[in-house]
A and B are shown apart, each in its own frame.
Chain A
Amino acid sequence: MVARVRGQLMVPAGAIVLALLVGAVIIILTSPLATGGFDPTLPLVTYWAIVQGSLLSVNGLIDTLVSATPLILVGLSVGFCFKAGLFNIGGQGQFLTGAVTAAAVGGVLSGAPPFIAAPIAILAAMAMGAVYGLIPGFLKAFTGAHEVVTTIMLNYIAIQLVAFLIQGPLRAEGSSFARSADVGNSAIPVIINMAGGHQAHLGIIFPFIAAAIIWWVLYRTTIGFEIRTVGANPDAARYAGMRPRLLIVLAMSVAGLLGGLAGASEILGVSGYMPAAYSTNVGFDAITVALLGRVHPLGIVFAGLLLGAMRAGAGLMQIQAGVPVQMIDVLQGVILFFLAADIVVRRVFRIHAAAGGVEELSTVTGTYGGKTTASQP
């Protein structure tokens, strides 16, 4: 047990260390573009700025929690699907449909009493996210269309849907750019308010509640057991009398619901309105979060906090080191690479402990190409 937990921690830690090294090489190579001159010390300046901007001040910690909120929620969404043998790359679409719903309902209820308006807007966003997750779940269960392609297509459709709604029916009067109306009383209340615009909304507790519920559902309920069985071995699940199709639809809907909640917490808690070109990378980030957290709710919380810290520190990094915030996307991608190629990490750091990889992943590829169940070779 101890060895297993240690293995589970060592591989992610090793992946992060190697990713920081690869990131350092990229930063040095591109330093002439970022700062105007070749600068081999730039990685140290960059990484120190990230740490400073995220962990070494109260403001930084607040920003970290706020940035981590959508990452953990969508990370849980991706992780929950992994447990069911599904790969949800549709976090972005589920987030966006939830966000635009929160903006619409929140805008309508902006004059209603706060304790009614905010919950209704959040619930509406969660419902919309669940519907948007249900679509690929249904398609997978009943037609065999693999969720990896359908969820990505739905992401692009969601971007167009948001653009249409915000430029059309939801556009607020009297603003210089296309955006929805202020959510007013539907806003999630601010619980911490520091000088300089560093605020935390009540929604920062959502990921922790969600993680606890997801853990309870997965490991303490029959439905959770069935979902994990379907993910580990769909054939065995069917022979045991479970209904894989129903479980697939259910898992994708729950995933969408979490994505919708993440969208709502960003609109109602952070921005207060939605612009037409709302750009988010949360769907991809969440995959890194889920795998870094070893597809376990507790691990996902820590992984989300870590990547949230990187996002929170990105602003200071750009100011102090001149490295664009997109460097965080690079680092996350490289972390993900080393997590998957964990054999590299193990060799470099001589980790022998069993790391307990994610067995359900074989179901993800096994059902590609319309096979309804994964057949083991």
Chain B
Amino acid sequence: MNGLFDVPVLGLVFQLLDYLVTVVTLNGPIILALATPLALGALSGVMCERSGVVNIGIEGMMLASAFVGWFVAALAAQAMPAAPSAFFGITPALLIGLLAAVLCGMLVSALHAWLSISLRVDQIISGTIINIVAAGITGYLDVLFSTNPLPTAGKFAPFVPPDVLTGLPLVGWLFKMFLAQGPITLSVIILVVALEILLFRSRWGLRTRAVGEHPKAAETVGIDVIRLRYRNVILGGVFAGLAGAWFTLDFGNSFQGGMTGGRGFIALAALIFGRWRPVGAFLAALLFAASSALGIAIRTTPPSGELGTILTSIPEEVFAALPYIVTIVILAGVVGRSIAPAADGQPYERESAT
């Protein structure tokens, strides 16, 4: 095995592959954690785009929910201080914050629905407005709260899987990756599977896809296109709200302006790469998260030997930019072959009953 590493040039490739495997196995938990907002954002996108509404505003929805979740949790923690329970470190304040974040996601989504479904504002413009307004207001409030600091409500604690499982040879890292997580990340796996099944195996799923592919045909068989689109877009806000809560209540415990860092858009790329399917989008989110984790891994556990010299000499900014570069490359390579729902982005106008 090690002989392969000494082959000129090709040896480096083997070393890199070997290192990538090490990165994934050692950093499984962080990869899944970083994939959480991407996967949840993509699920929000699935809800909207499968029913024919483009949602560029996921980034803004996440940002608004991240702020509201943090803010409400902090206020609640002051009103009712409580020691974190052993179960996920749950406190009443954190649960209230989580609920507020989800409600915020639904509310902002309702705004997007109203703008794009009822007012028939161009959907990409509507989403962009949500991004800009959310960034503006949270940035403004962030500055105000940085001069009037609000004590944090803390954050959820990750689950600690039993050593029997994580200690298993070969598969132990998988248990660690999928179980040693906070409650929001753990719920993602369930939500992805549930939405995949609902979308392709339930009456609601069939109707949703019909409305996204051919709204006129759906209307003629008695489906209320406008109502279903409203419902799906607002429910999609639940996922965006959870993604926002992940930033300030699960992964971190404080809010910074612009902290979503474009993840709402990477989520859209994951959605496209995953062919508008929940499981596909989740796998794509893992790939994007792994590209983020690579930068972290090279700083914390750099590879040894020749490869180590090369990788550590690459400036850290390259790794910071890597998820964005990967997003562009994947979009450019995949878009033509990944087919969007046919009515995605088209406002629906009911024919007048005259």
Interface residue ranges, A against B (CB under 8 Å): 26, 30, 33-34, 87, 89, 139, 143-146, 148-150, 152-157, 160-161, 163-164, 168, 284, 287-288, 291, 324, 326-327, 329-330, 332-334, 336-337, 340-341, 343, 361-362, 364-366, 368-371, 377
The reply to whether B128 and A157 form a contact with Cβ atoms under 8 Å apart is no
Question: Is B26 interfacial (CB 8 A cutoff)?
Answer: no
Chain A hits for B204, CB < 8 A? none
Complex CA gap A163/B320 in Å reads 11
Segment 300-352 of B: residues with Cβ below 8 Å from A: 315, 317-318, 320-321, 324-325, 327-328, 331-333, 335-336, 338-341, 343-349
Question: Is B240 interfacial (CB 8 A cutoff)?
Answer: no
A189–chain B nearest beta-carbon distance, Å:
34
Beyond A33-B144, A153-B324, A369-B272, whether A337 also contacts B133 by CB under 8 A is yes
Chain A hits for B172, CB < 8 A? none
- Secondary structure at chain A's binding surface: helix, strand, loop or mixed? helix
B97–chain A nearest beta-carbon distance, Å:
19
The contact of A145 among B137, B141, B328, by CB within 8 Å, is B328
Chain B hits for A26, CB < 8 A? 137, 140
Number of B positions contacting A (CB below 8 A): 59
The contact of B140 among A154, A157, A160, A329, by CB within 8 Å, is A329
Interface residue ranges, B against A (CB under 8 Å): 49, 54, 56, 115, 119, 121-126, 128-129, 132-133, 135-137, 139-145, 147-148, 261-262, 265-266, 268-269, 272, 315, 317-318, 320-321, 324-325, 327-328, 331-333, 335-336, 338-341, 343-349
Beyond A326-B143, A337-B133, A371-B340, whether A156 also contacts B121 by CB under 8 A is no
Beyond A330-B140, A341-B119, A377-B346, whether A364 also contacts B125 by CB under 8 A is yes
Task: Tell me how many residue pairs across A and B have CB atoms closer than 8 Å.
Answer: 166
The contact of B115 among A145, A155, A291, A341, by CB within 8 Å, is A341
The reply to whether B135 and A143 form a contact with Cβ atoms under 8 Å apart is no
The contact of B121 among A143, A340, A370, by CB within 8 Å, is A340
The contact of A336 among B129, B140, B142, by CB within 8 Å, is B129
Chain B hits for A362, CB < 8 A? 122
The reply to whether B336 and A143 form a contact with Cβ atoms under 8 Å apart is yes
Complex CA gap A149/B69 in Å reads 26
Sample of 19 more A-B contacts, CB < 8 Å, known A163-B317, A337-B133, A371-B340: A33-B144, A87-B125, A144-B336, A149-B327, A149-B331, A153-B327, A160-B318, A160-B320, A160-B321, A160-B324, A164-B317, A330-B140, A333-B132, A361-B122, A361-B124, A361-B125, A369-B49, A369-B54, A370-B336
The contact of A156 among B262, B272, B344, B348, by CB within 8 Å, is B262
Chain A hits for B140, CB < 8 A? 26, 30, 324, 326-327, 329-330
Chain A hits for B139, CB < 8 A? 326, 329
Complex CA gap A371/B338 in Å reads 10
The reply to whether A330 and B136 form a contact with Cβ atoms under 8 Å apart is yes
The reply to whether B136 and A329 form a contact with Cβ atoms under 8 Å apart is yes
Complex CA gap A364/B142 in Å reads 32
Question: Among B125, B266, B272, which residue has the most Cβ atoms of chain A within 10 A?
Answer: B125
The contact of B122 among A156, A364, A371, by CB within 8 Å, is A364
